[in-house]
Amino acid sequence: MSGDITTIIGDYSFIGNNVTIAAGVKTGNKFTAEDGSRIARNCIFGDLVAIGLNAVVLEEAKFEGMNRLHAQGFVSEYAEIGYGAWMGPQIALFNAPHPKCPKAKFCERDYAPRIGRFARIGGAARTIPGVIIGDYALIGSGSVVAKSVPEKSVVAGNPAKVIKLIGELNCWDKVKYGVEHPYDVQNLPKAPEDLQKRLAELGWTR
């Protein structure tokens, strides 16, 4: 097993019933692991990360912070999840291009998913190995993402295709909710300026 085997859980965190957190995991403050979730060894989580009911995060995955992985989600080994990214229920992010290949362990790190900052992945979506999701991108529910997604793009379908940009999305009931466009592209959220320093404190260096 590589890495430091010390396990650290940040302040003000919540660990539910029947949760497994393996050796070497390090979390920031206000971390949540809901009932039945499984977190493999040497994962790193920044502040304000929530792992949903029965979700699975495999070894050495990294979450920058302010993330939500909903119920029954699956995140592969070595995945990198950008700050503010949100993942709906039953999503799956894969990293093995040819499972059971004798050389699989040598390429799984290279093909691990990379999810950009403030990206949104709808429920039951899947990404195949090697896919990179750009910052602020939106993945439609049930999509199968076979190619990398440019930032601020909206993709949907099987295989998923770019259908528009997030700035072109309209609220489903703008009269009722008083919102015309769900995403204000002129005022998109940003990660904290001290994020890299905070992640370095948890052992994540780039």
Q: What is the pLDDT of residue 99?
A: 85
Tokens of 91: 């999503």
Residue at 14: amino acid letter: F
Parallel, antiparallel, or unpaired: how do β-strands 153-157 and 160-165 relate? antiparallel
In the three-class reduction of DSSP (H, G, I as helix; E, B as strand; rest coil), residue 104 is classed as helix
> With contact defined as beta carbons under 8 Å apart, do 110 and 95 qualify?
no
Tens of pLDDT along the chain (206 residues) come to: 455 589 999 999 999 999 999 999 999 999 999 999 999 999 999 999 999 999 999 999 999 999 999 999 999 999 999 999 999 999 999 999 888 888 887 889 999 999 999 999 999 999 999 999 999 999 999 999 999 999 999 999 999 999 999 999 999 888 898 888 899 899 999 999 999 999 999 999 76
> With contact defined as beta carbons under 8 Å apart, do 131 and 115 qualify?
no
Radius of gyration of the chain (CA): 17
The CATH architecture that domain 14-201 belongs to is 3 Solenoid (2.160)
pTM of the model: 0.94
Determine the Cα–Cα distance for residues 41 and 26; give it in Å rounded to an integer: 9
Q: What is the pLDDT of residue 1?
A: 44
Q: Give the closest residue to 121 by CA, choosing from 105, 108, 104, 133.
A: 133
Q: What is the pLDDT of residue 89?
A: 99
Partners of residue 21 on adjacent β-strands = 39
Q: Give the number of other Cβ atoms within 10 Å of residue 110's Cβ.
A: 11
Q: What is the pLDDT of residue 200?
A: 95
> With contact defined as beta carbons under 8 Å apart, do 94 and 108 qualify?
no
